[in-house]
Amino acid sequence: RQTGTVETDAEKHDVEYLTPISIGTPPQDLIVDFDTGSSDLWVFSTEMAAKDIKGQAVYDPNNSSTSEKLQGSTWQITYGDGSSSSGDVYLDTVTIGNLTVPNQAVEAAKKVSDEFTDDPNNDGLLGLGFSSINTVQPTPQNTFFDNVKKNLDTPLFTTDLKHGAPGSYNFGYIDPAAYIGNISWTPVDNSQGFWGFTSPGYAVGTETLRNHSISGIADTGTTLLLLPKSIVKAYYSEVQGAQYDSSQGGYVFPCSPTPPDFVFGVNNGIVTVPGDMVLYAPIDSANQNCFGGIQSDTGIGFSIFGDVALKTSFVVFDAGGLQLGWAAK
Protein backbone atom coordinates (compact mmCIF):
# COMPACT_ATOMS: atom_id res chain seq x y z
CA ARG A 1 0.00 0.00 0.00
CA GLN A 2 1.26 3.44 -0.83
CA THR A 3 0.77 7.13 -0.10
CA GLY A 4 1.97 10.16 -2.02
CA THR A 5 2.35 13.92 -1.85
CA VAL A 6 2.95 16.57 -4.49
CA GLU A 7 3.41 20.32 -4.17
CA THR A 8 1.12 22.71 -6.04
CA ASP A 9 2.13 26.29 -6.71
CA ALA A 10 -0.21 29.29 -6.71
CA GLU A 11 -0.40 31.52 -9.76
CA LYS A 12 -0.82 35.31 -9.46
CA HIS A 13 -3.86 36.09 -7.27
CA ASP A 14 -4.20 32.32 -6.67
CA VAL A 15 -6.14 32.22 -9.96
CA GLU A 16 -5.20 28.53 -10.25
CA TYR A 17 -2.88 26.05 -8.60
CA LEU A 18 -0.45 24.22 -10.90
CA THR A 19 1.08 20.84 -10.10
CA PRO A 20 3.86 18.83 -11.84
CA ILE A 21 3.12 15.41 -13.37
CA SER A 22 5.18 13.07 -15.59
CA ILE A 23 3.80 11.19 -18.60
CA GLY A 24 5.41 8.44 -20.66
CA THR A 25 8.81 6.78 -21.10
CA PRO A 26 11.18 8.56 -20.88
CA PRO A 27 9.10 10.83 -18.58
CA GLN A 28 7.70 14.02 -20.11
CA ASP A 29 7.19 16.66 -17.39
CA LEU A 30 4.09 18.87 -17.58
CA ILE A 31 2.51 21.24 -15.06
CA VAL A 32 -1.28 20.94 -14.85
CA ASP A 33 -4.31 22.24 -12.95
CA PHE A 34 -5.66 19.59 -10.53
CA ASP A 35 -9.43 20.00 -10.78
CA THR A 36 -11.85 18.31 -8.37
CA GLY A 37 -14.67 19.82 -10.51
CA SER A 38 -13.97 17.67 -13.59
CA SER A 39 -12.80 14.17 -14.45
CA ASP A 40 -10.67 14.32 -17.60
CA LEU A 41 -6.86 14.26 -17.63
CA TRP A 42 -6.10 16.25 -20.76
CA VAL A 43 -2.86 17.89 -21.88
CA PHE A 44 -1.51 20.15 -24.59
CA SER A 45 0.00 17.87 -27.23
CA THR A 46 2.01 17.68 -30.45
CA GLU A 47 -1.33 17.02 -32.20
CA MET A 48 -2.34 20.69 -31.79
CA ALA A 49 -1.87 23.47 -34.34
CA ALA A 50 1.24 25.48 -33.46
CA LYS A 51 -0.82 28.74 -33.32
CA ASP A 52 -2.78 27.35 -30.33
CA ILE A 53 0.36 26.70 -28.25
CA LYS A 54 1.84 29.78 -26.54
CA GLY A 55 4.50 28.68 -24.08
CA GLN A 56 2.90 25.51 -22.75
CA ALA A 57 4.77 22.18 -22.51
CA VAL A 58 3.25 19.50 -24.74
CA TYR A 59 2.86 15.73 -24.52
CA ASP A 60 4.28 13.85 -27.51
CA PRO A 61 2.88 10.30 -27.54
CA ASN A 62 5.26 9.36 -30.39
CA ASN A 63 8.14 10.11 -28.04
CA SER A 64 6.96 7.64 -25.42
CA SER A 65 7.76 3.93 -25.71
CA THR A 66 4.86 3.14 -23.35
CA SER A 67 2.13 5.14 -25.14
CA GLU A 68 -0.65 3.16 -26.80
CA LYS A 69 -3.36 4.89 -28.84
CA LEU A 70 -6.90 4.13 -27.62
CA GLN A 71 -8.16 3.55 -31.17
CA GLY A 72 -11.44 5.26 -32.01
CA SER A 73 -11.66 7.17 -28.74
CA THR A 74 -12.19 10.94 -28.60
CA TRP A 75 -13.03 13.51 -25.94
CA GLN A 76 -14.54 17.00 -25.78
CA ILE A 77 -15.05 19.07 -22.66
CA THR A 78 -16.69 22.47 -22.08
CA TYR A 79 -16.29 24.03 -18.64
CA GLY A 80 -18.89 26.22 -16.97
CA ASP A 81 -16.92 29.36 -17.75
CA GLY A 82 -17.18 28.55 -21.47
CA SER A 83 -13.61 27.36 -21.95
CA SER A 84 -13.21 24.08 -23.86
CA SER A 85 -10.84 21.53 -25.38
CA SER A 86 -10.99 18.29 -27.37
CA GLY A 87 -8.81 15.57 -28.91
CA ASP A 88 -7.97 11.88 -28.90
CA VAL A 89 -6.75 9.41 -26.27
CA TYR A 90 -3.63 7.42 -25.37
CA LEU A 91 -2.89 5.03 -22.54
CA ASP A 92 0.44 5.83 -20.96
CA THR A 93 2.30 5.81 -17.66
CA VAL A 94 1.47 8.79 -15.43
CA THR A 95 3.45 9.62 -12.28
CA ILE A 96 2.45 12.14 -9.59
CA GLY A 97 4.97 12.43 -6.76
CA ASN A 98 5.91 8.83 -5.96
CA LEU A 99 2.65 7.35 -7.30
CA THR A 100 2.58 5.75 -10.76
CA VAL A 101 -0.38 4.49 -12.83
CA PRO A 102 0.87 2.37 -15.76
CA ASN A 103 -2.14 2.58 -18.09
CA GLN A 104 -3.70 5.97 -17.39
CA ALA A 105 -5.96 7.45 -20.07
CA VAL A 106 -4.13 10.58 -21.23
CA GLU A 107 -6.37 12.80 -23.34
CA ALA A 108 -4.19 14.52 -25.94
CA ALA A 109 -5.58 17.87 -27.06
CA LYS A 110 -5.99 18.63 -30.76
CA LYS A 111 -7.95 21.84 -30.04
CA VAL A 112 -8.15 24.16 -27.03
CA SER A 113 -10.08 27.42 -26.56
CA ASP A 114 -8.28 30.76 -26.23
CA GLU A 115 -8.61 30.73 -22.41
CA PHE A 116 -6.16 27.81 -22.37
CA THR A 117 -3.90 29.06 -25.19
CA ASP A 118 -3.59 32.40 -23.36
CA ASP A 119 -2.60 30.72 -20.06
CA PRO A 120 1.11 30.00 -20.74
CA ASN A 121 1.88 28.21 -17.49
CA ASN A 122 -0.92 25.66 -17.62
CA ASP A 123 -0.24 22.52 -19.70
CA GLY A 124 -3.61 20.84 -19.05
CA LEU A 125 -6.05 19.62 -16.43
CA LEU A 126 -6.03 16.57 -14.18
CA GLY A 127 -9.59 15.76 -13.13
CA LEU A 128 -10.13 14.60 -9.54
CA GLY A 129 -13.93 14.42 -9.83
CA PHE A 130 -15.81 11.13 -10.19
CA SER A 131 -15.13 9.07 -13.33
CA SER A 132 -18.87 9.04 -14.14
CA ILE A 133 -18.45 12.45 -15.85
CA ASN A 134 -15.32 11.61 -17.86
CA THR A 135 -16.00 12.78 -21.45
CA VAL A 136 -14.13 10.06 -23.43
CA GLN A 137 -16.32 8.37 -26.03
CA PRO A 138 -17.30 5.63 -26.78
CA THR A 139 -15.95 4.34 -23.42
CA PRO A 140 -15.46 6.81 -20.52
CA GLN A 141 -12.08 6.40 -18.77
CA ASN A 142 -11.00 6.41 -15.12
CA THR A 143 -9.35 9.35 -13.40
CA PHE A 144 -5.81 9.02 -12.04
CA PHE A 145 -7.25 8.88 -8.51
CA ASP A 146 -9.70 6.09 -9.41
CA ASN A 147 -6.83 4.10 -10.95
CA VAL A 148 -4.39 4.64 -8.07
CA LYS A 149 -7.01 4.20 -5.30
CA LYS A 150 -6.51 0.44 -4.90
CA ASN A 151 -2.82 0.97 -4.16
CA LEU A 152 -3.41 3.63 -1.50
CA ASP A 153 -3.45 2.97 2.25
CA THR A 154 -6.93 4.50 2.20
CA PRO A 155 -8.98 5.78 -0.77
CA LEU A 156 -8.80 9.52 -0.15
CA PHE A 157 -6.81 12.61 -1.12
CA THR A 158 -6.38 15.89 0.73
CA THR A 159 -5.86 19.47 -0.41
CA ASP A 160 -3.88 22.14 1.38
CA LEU A 161 -4.08 25.13 -0.96
CA LYS A 162 -2.53 28.36 0.28
CA HIS A 163 -2.79 32.10 -0.35
CA GLY A 164 0.14 33.12 -2.58
CA ALA A 165 2.30 30.15 -1.62
CA PRO A 166 2.86 26.55 -2.65
CA GLY A 167 0.37 24.08 -1.20
CA SER A 168 0.07 20.33 -1.46
CA TYR A 169 -2.09 17.43 -2.59
CA ASN A 170 -1.64 14.23 -0.55
CA PHE A 171 -2.93 10.84 -1.65
CA GLY A 172 -3.82 7.97 0.67
CA TYR A 173 -3.30 9.59 4.06
CA ILE A 174 -4.36 12.41 6.36
CA ASP A 175 -1.34 14.35 7.64
CA PRO A 176 -2.13 15.26 11.27
CA ALA A 177 0.49 18.05 11.10
CA ALA A 178 -1.40 19.73 8.24
CA TYR A 179 -4.38 20.98 10.27
CA ILE A 180 -5.47 22.18 13.70
CA GLY A 181 -8.57 21.33 15.75
CA ASN A 182 -11.10 18.79 14.57
CA ILE A 183 -12.06 17.81 11.03
CA SER A 184 -15.75 18.56 10.34
CA TRP A 185 -17.18 15.77 8.15
CA THR A 186 -20.15 16.06 5.82
CA PRO A 187 -21.63 13.51 3.40
CA VAL A 188 -20.84 13.78 -0.35
CA ASP A 189 -23.53 13.61 -3.05
CA ASN A 190 -21.60 12.36 -6.13
CA SER A 191 -24.73 11.84 -8.25
CA GLN A 192 -23.61 14.58 -10.69
CA GLY A 193 -20.01 13.37 -10.66
CA PHE A 194 -18.88 16.19 -8.34
CA TRP A 195 -17.76 16.39 -4.69
CA GLY A 196 -21.16 17.81 -3.74
CA PHE A 197 -22.26 18.74 -0.23
CA THR A 198 -24.78 20.94 1.57
CA SER A 199 -23.70 23.62 4.03
CA PRO A 200 -26.34 24.34 6.73
CA GLY A 201 -25.78 28.09 6.85
CA TYR A 202 -23.58 31.15 6.73
CA ALA A 203 -22.66 34.30 8.64
CA VAL A 204 -21.20 37.69 7.74
CA GLY A 205 -18.50 38.97 10.10
CA THR A 206 -19.11 38.02 13.72
CA GLU A 207 -22.89 37.52 13.50
CA THR A 208 -24.43 34.15 14.40
CA LEU A 209 -24.87 31.52 11.67
CA ARG A 210 -28.06 32.01 9.63
CA ASN A 211 -29.93 28.81 8.76
CA HIS A 212 -29.78 28.76 4.95
CA SER A 213 -28.85 25.51 3.16
CA ILE A 214 -26.19 25.99 0.50
CA SER A 215 -25.76 23.06 -1.92
CA GLY A 216 -22.53 23.18 -3.85
CA ILE A 217 -19.36 21.45 -4.93
CA ALA A 218 -15.79 21.55 -3.62
CA ASP A 219 -13.97 22.61 -6.79
CA THR A 220 -10.19 23.22 -6.87
CA GLY A 221 -10.46 24.16 -10.57
CA THR A 222 -12.60 27.24 -9.91
CA THR A 223 -10.92 30.34 -8.53
CA LEU A 224 -13.71 32.04 -6.61
CA LEU A 225 -16.46 31.23 -4.09
CA LEU A 226 -19.71 31.30 -6.11
CA LEU A 227 -22.81 31.48 -3.87
CA PRO A 228 -26.57 32.11 -4.17
CA LYS A 229 -27.36 35.70 -5.22
CA SER A 230 -29.30 36.40 -1.99
CA ILE A 231 -26.30 35.46 0.17
CA VAL A 232 -23.90 37.45 -2.00
CA LYS A 233 -26.18 40.51 -1.70
CA ALA A 234 -26.40 40.04 2.08
CA TYR A 235 -22.62 39.88 2.31
CA TYR A 236 -21.87 42.93 0.17
CA SER A 237 -24.60 44.95 1.93
CA GLU A 238 -22.12 44.97 4.83
CA VAL A 239 -19.18 46.12 2.70
CA GLN A 240 -18.84 49.90 2.42
CA GLY A 241 -18.99 51.10 -1.17
CA ALA A 242 -19.63 47.64 -2.63
CA GLN A 243 -21.55 47.55 -5.88
CA TYR A 244 -22.28 45.18 -8.75
CA ASP A 245 -20.13 46.36 -11.68
CA SER A 246 -21.49 44.85 -14.90
CA SER A 247 -18.35 45.88 -16.81
CA GLN A 248 -16.29 43.79 -14.38
CA GLY A 249 -18.94 41.05 -14.24
CA GLY A 250 -19.27 41.05 -10.47
CA TYR A 251 -19.19 42.91 -7.16
CA VAL A 252 -16.36 45.37 -6.65
CA PHE A 253 -15.54 47.46 -3.58
CA PRO A 254 -12.80 49.70 -2.16
CA CYS A 255 -9.68 47.64 -1.36
CA SER A 256 -9.60 49.30 2.07
CA PRO A 257 -10.83 48.81 4.74
CA THR A 258 -10.67 45.02 4.83
CA PRO A 259 -14.19 43.60 4.33
CA PRO A 260 -15.86 41.36 6.93
CA ASP A 261 -15.13 37.62 7.17
CA PHE A 262 -17.53 35.18 5.48
CA VAL A 263 -18.37 32.04 7.49
CA PHE A 264 -20.11 28.92 6.19
CA GLY A 265 -21.18 25.83 8.10
CA VAL A 266 -19.89 22.31 7.51
CA ASN A 267 -22.03 19.88 9.54
CA ASN A 268 -21.73 21.22 13.11
CA GLY A 269 -18.45 23.03 12.38
CA ILE A 270 -17.68 26.27 10.56
CA VAL A 271 -15.21 27.46 7.90
CA THR A 272 -14.11 31.09 8.02
CA VAL A 273 -13.08 32.92 4.83
CA PRO A 274 -11.08 35.89 6.19
CA GLY A 275 -12.06 39.30 4.81
CA ASP A 276 -8.63 39.74 3.26
CA MET A 277 -9.26 36.62 1.15
CA VAL A 278 -12.50 38.18 -0.13
CA LEU A 279 -10.30 40.99 -1.45
CA TYR A 280 -9.62 38.91 -4.54
CA ALA A 281 -7.66 41.34 -6.73
CA PRO A 282 -7.37 45.07 -7.46
CA ILE A 283 -9.17 46.11 -10.67
CA ASP A 284 -7.20 49.32 -11.16
CA SER A 285 -3.49 50.14 -11.15
CA ALA A 286 -3.99 52.53 -8.23
CA ASN A 287 -5.31 49.51 -6.27
CA GLN A 288 -8.29 51.58 -5.16
CA ASN A 289 -11.06 49.12 -6.02
CA CYS A 290 -11.02 45.35 -5.68
CA PHE A 291 -12.92 42.50 -7.35
CA GLY A 292 -14.64 40.31 -4.79
CA GLY A 293 -13.65 36.70 -4.15
CA ILE A 294 -17.32 35.98 -3.40
CA GLN A 295 -19.62 36.22 -6.44
CA SER A 296 -22.99 34.88 -7.55
CA ASP A 297 -23.61 31.29 -8.71
CA THR A 298 -26.54 32.43 -10.88
CA GLY A 299 -27.10 30.15 -13.83
CA ILE A 300 -24.93 27.29 -12.60
CA GLY A 301 -27.60 25.38 -10.68
CA PHE A 302 -25.40 24.88 -7.61
CA SER A 303 -22.82 26.83 -5.60
CA ILE A 304 -19.10 26.42 -6.16
CA PHE A 305 -16.73 26.34 -3.19
CA GLY A 306 -13.66 27.20 -5.26
CA ASP A 307 -10.12 28.15 -4.26
CA VAL A 308 -11.21 31.21 -2.22
CA ALA A 309 -12.98 28.80 0.15
CA LEU A 310 -10.61 25.84 -0.15
CA LYS A 311 -7.41 27.78 0.58
CA THR A 312 -8.71 28.65 4.06
CA SER A 313 -8.75 24.98 5.02
CA PHE A 314 -7.24 21.52 4.96
CA VAL A 315 -9.83 19.48 3.03
CA VAL A 316 -10.19 15.69 2.89
CA PHE A 317 -11.81 14.23 -0.24
CA ASP A 318 -12.75 10.79 1.08
CA ALA A 319 -14.00 8.44 -1.66
CA GLY A 320 -14.12 5.49 0.76
CA GLY A 321 -16.53 7.12 3.19
CA LEU A 322 -18.04 9.35 0.44
CA GLN A 323 -17.54 12.38 2.69
CA LEU A 324 -15.70 15.69 2.76
CA GLY A 325 -13.69 16.77 5.79
CA TRP A 326 -12.88 20.44 6.44
CA ALA A 327 -10.39 21.58 9.07
CA ALA A 328 -8.72 24.85 10.05
CA LYS A 329 -4.94 25.16 9.69
Ligand X SMILES: Cc1nn(C)c(C)c1CC(=O)Nc1ccccn1
CA-based nearest residue to 1, from 191, 216, 153: 153
- Of 24, 37, 196, 250, the one binding ligand X (CB under 6 A) is 37
Q: Which residues of 216-246 are buried (b: 16+ CB within 10 A; e: fewer)?
A: bbbbbbbbbbbbbeebbebbbeebeebebee
The residue nearest ligand X at its CB is 80
From residue 76, alpha-carbon distances to 4, 85, 116 in Å are: 30, 6, 14
Q: Considering the candidates 35, 123, 297, 318, report the single residue annotated as catalytic.
A: 35
124 touches ligand X by CB under 6 A: no
- Of 18, 304, 308, 324, the one binding ligand X (CB under 6 A) is 304
Site for ligand X in 44-103 (CB under 6 A): 79-81, 83
* Secondary structure (3-state) at 131: helix
Kind plus residue range of the DSSP H or E element containing 235: helix 229-236
Is 156 or 224 the residue whose CB approaches ligand X more closely? 224
From residue 187, alpha-carbon distances to 16, 95, 182, 198, 247 in Å are: 26, 30, 16, 8, 38
Q: Considering the candidates 38, 131, 184, 199, report the single residue annotated as catalytic.
A: 199
249 touches ligand X by CB under 6 A: no
Is 93 or 135 the residue whose CB approaches ligand X more closely? 135
Is 38 or 170 the residue whose CB approaches ligand X more closely? 38
Is 80 or 274 the residue whose CB approaches ligand X more closely? 80
Residue 17, φ and ψ in degrees, nearest 5: -120, 120
Strand order in the sheet with 269-273: 269-273, 262-266, 196-204, 210-218, 303-305, 225-227, 294-296
Number of residues that bind ligand X (CB under 6 A): 12
Task: Work out how close the CB of 215 gets to ligand X at its nearest, in angstroms, rounded to a whole number.
Answer: 14
CA-based nearest residue to 48, from 87, 77, 83: 87
DSSP, residue by residue, 289-319: EEEESEEE-TTTSSEEE-HHHHTTSEEEEET
Task: Work out how close the CB of 18 gets to ligand X at its nearest, in angstroms, rounded to a whole number.
Answer: 12
38 touches ligand X by CB under 6 A: yes
Task: Work out how close the CB of 83 gets to ligand X at its nearest, in angstroms, rounded to a whole number.
Answer: 5
Dist CA 205 CA 208 (whole Å): 9
307 touches ligand X by CB under 6 A: no
Whole-angstrom distance between the N-terminal and C-terminal Cα of the chain? 27
Task: Work out how close the CB of 150 gets to ligand X at its nearest, in angstroms, rounded to a whole number.
Answer: 27
Site for ligand X in 178-237 (CB under 6 A): 221-222
CA-based nearest residue to 44, from 93, 130, 117: 117
Q: Quick check: is 35 catalytic? A: yes
Is 38 or 104 the residue whose CB approaches ligand X more closely? 38
Task: Work out how close the CB of 220 gets to ligand X at its nearest, in angstroms, rounded to a whole number.
Answer: 9
CB 329 within 8 A of CB 313: yes
DSSP 321: T
Task: Work out how close the CB of 141 gets to ligand X at its nearest, in angstroms, rounded to a whole number.
Answer: 18
Q: With CB under 6 A as the contact rule, which of the stretches 23-31, 34-42, 68-76, 131-139 interacts with ligand X?
A: 34-42
Residue 229, φ and ψ in degrees, nearest 5: -55, -40
Is 79 or 173 the residue whose CB approaches ligand X more closely? 79
35 touches ligand X by CB under 6 A: yes
Residues that bind ligand X (CB under 6 A): 35, 37-38, 79-81, 83, 221-222, 299-300, 304
Residues annotated as part of the active site: 35, 199
